[in-house]
Structure 1
Amino acid sequence: MAKHLFRQFFEHESSTYTYLLADLSTKEALIIDPVIDTAERDAKVIQQLGLKLRYAGIEVIQGLTLVFSSTSIVSLVNTHVHADHITGSGKLKTLLPECKSVISSVSGAKADIYVRDGEVIKIGESGKTPISIECRSTPGHTNGCMTFVWHEGGAVFTGDALLVRGCGRTDFQQGSSDTLYTSIQEKIFTLPDHYVVYPAHDYTGQTSSTILEEKTFNPRLTKSREEFMDIMANLKLSYPKQIDKALPANLICGLQGDI
């Protein structure tokens, strides 16, 4: 019998992937990078599967902060403050009022729980086979980018830091191509080659990759640091269509008012 549930959802307007992970024995779960336009869809699936949104507590174990629950939960986890869509965290907190939002401590955004590099988000029954998600700080696209690693599942959720055959832009939101190159090479490409890469976006229909594939075929990351920085400096991308409303909204969890 399967111990865990994993789902990948897609939002078409911003080409955003949302990920749902759950421990089936306890019904505890977390959702990564929800989008406001598909929050009702996500809430419906969560309710159909019997997953409940509760409070996520904090406990320090062996020098790491484990974000975990004492009851069935869904934590709302964002890899960073997005500029191309409004997060669904606030909407899901309205639809499922007992849930709490999670984001990097250096994101500049409001949230219920802040995580730092090296900390672990944990769901499921302690002492059995909980889902443990390692938080790895991967700035460069933004200062507050966080990559989430599920070692047991051999999966890494890279947000906008690493995309399939690409990476996040570095020309706004305190972006730095030099910093992003270091983050990917030292925090993501050091993971085992077989780990599956699940990005926050894809614009060509690809759903995932692997660490080995990206180390081998990514046209930007197979270059030297200097070549990478030159590529990023000459992308000449237009700003995201929703940036003017997405950035301020995402700094307050996607909804006006207190979260």
Structure 2
Amino acid sequence: MLIFRQLFDQQSSTYTYLLADSDTREAVLIDPVFEQARRDAALLEELRLRLLYTIDTHVHADHVTGAWLLKKHTGSKIAISAASGAEGADHYVSHGDTIAFGARHLQVRATPGHTNGCVSLVLDDGSMAFTGDCLLIRGTGRTDFQSGNPHALFRAVHEQLFSLPDTCLLYPAHDYRGLTVTSVDEERRFNPRLGGELCEEDFAVYMTNLGLPHPRQIDVAVPANMKCGVAASDPSQKPLPEWAPLTYTFAGIWEIHPQWLEEHLQAVQIIDVREPDEYEGPLGRIPEAKLISLGNLAKRTAELGKERPIVTVCRAGGRSAQATVILRQAGFEEVANLAGGMLRWRAEGRVVENGSL
């Protein structure tokens, strides 16, 4: 069975696609974003997947690829078109090549026009294709920089994408209106730039007169992406916390494991966000834990210092996860949630006060 996830970066309106073989747990990631590498790695970890390749459909101008970061963190290989001119990839692909993951594979189709090195990726059974910036939902990629060519793009779409089965689902690298998927039949009939009866010359004139501004990140993104992201330097990509061995979840929460916490009780502030009857109840409480119920936390953050990290705890880890969000919004940087809460703490036989189970 195929595992499939469509992920989104709000800043650049970029879609990243995760595909994996459920039997072998081997995966590929299409068009990863630098700032979202931590998120992507967390999802791979939670789904127990082994990332074989990151695949960029082209040298992006609107965001820096996460390919190099993911290679650094997961050991994955970087794949990109041989025609892209990018340096530092492990695998350069050309038209007709395949990229395998488990028993599944993606077929590479050259679809130049947005850039010289654009490719689209077609799943082995023809049920879905990933079109990068070549074909968008009721639109196309622009053709006015990076050796773009409207004639080449028109032919690429008609020969390589519109030749796929009508029912083939098309997933673009971007959408700016919240649309997520289209199909070959829809775009062949309704795409206002090159669908219906529009000819190549119609498309060329349309694209020549778009008058779009250059992407805001082009001066940073293109040089970095020509090195597969290795040159990226982005202040929004914060370093890993060093005060404890934390785990980052796909939900965006930093978690701490019970064993480390039990061994370092004096080094942190433990905030129990349960209700008072739970705090005094049979599950007990962690020594040194301070009771501040979740509903009161936002109003009582002034009671907490910033000289020591904060660990939040509740019954099972749900309320305390929300507590970390509240604390970060209040300006506390060193915050983590106790994974599994008091249920896990007690199941592992950790030290408690006032417990009766």
Fold-level similarity (TM above 0.5): yes
In structure 2, the residue matched to 1:105 is 82
Q: Which amino acid aligns with 1:202?
A: D
Q: Which amino acid aligns with 1:109?
A: A
Q: Which of 6, 13, 16 is the equivalent residue of 2:14?
A: 16
Offset at 1:4?
1.5
Is the aligned partner of 1:122 residue 2:100? yes
Indicate the SS of the match to 1:117. coil
In structure 1, the residue matched to 2:199 is 224
With 151-160 and 165-174 compared, the bigger mean Cα shift is at 151-160
Residues of 2 paired with 1:47 and 1:13: CA distance?
A: 24
TM-score (norm 2): 0.63
In structure 2, the residue matched to 1:208 is 181
Residues of 2 paired with 1:246 and 1:41: CA distance?
A: 20
Indicate the SS of the match to 2:166. coil
More strand by share: 1
In structure 2, the residue matched to 1:51 is 49
Offset at 1:14?
0.6
Residues of 1 paired with 2:4 and 2:25: CA distance?
A: 12
Larger Rg, first or second structure (1 or 2): 2
In structure 2, the residue matched to 1:94 is 72
Offset at 1:151?
3.5
Is the aligned partner of 1:252 residue 2:227? yes
More helix by share: 2
Residues of 2 paired with 1:255 and 1:238: CA distance?
A: 27
Is the aligned partner of 1:131 residue 2:65? no
Offset at 1:152?
2.0
Q: Which amino acid aligns with 2:158?
A: Q
Q: Is the 8 A contact 2:126 2:165 kept in 1?
A: no
Residues of 1 paired with 2:99 and 2:155: CA distance?
A: 24
In structure 1, the residue matched to 2:332 is none
Q: Which amino acid aligns with 2:85?
A: G
Indicate the SS of the match to 1:194. coil
Offset at 1:132?
1.5
**CA offsets per residue over residues 219-254 of structure 1, 9 Å max, x none?**
001211111000000000000000000000001111
TM-score (norm 1): 0.87
Residues of 1 paired with 2:231 and 2:66: CA distance?
A: 13
Q: Which amino acid aligns with 2:176?
A: Y
Residues of 2 paired with 1:209 and 1:184: CA distance?
A: 14
Q: Which runs of 5+ in 1 are unaligned?
A: 54-73, 125-129
In structure 2, the residue matched to 1:39 is 37
Q: Which amino acid aligns with 1:26?
A: T
Q: Which of 146, 149, 155 is the equivalent residue of 2:122?
A: 149
Aligned residues: 229
Indicate the SS of the match to 1:174. coil
Residues of 1 paired with 2:205 and 2:125: CA distance?
A: 37
The Cα RMSD (Å) is 1.0
Q: Which amino acid aligns with 2:203?
A: F
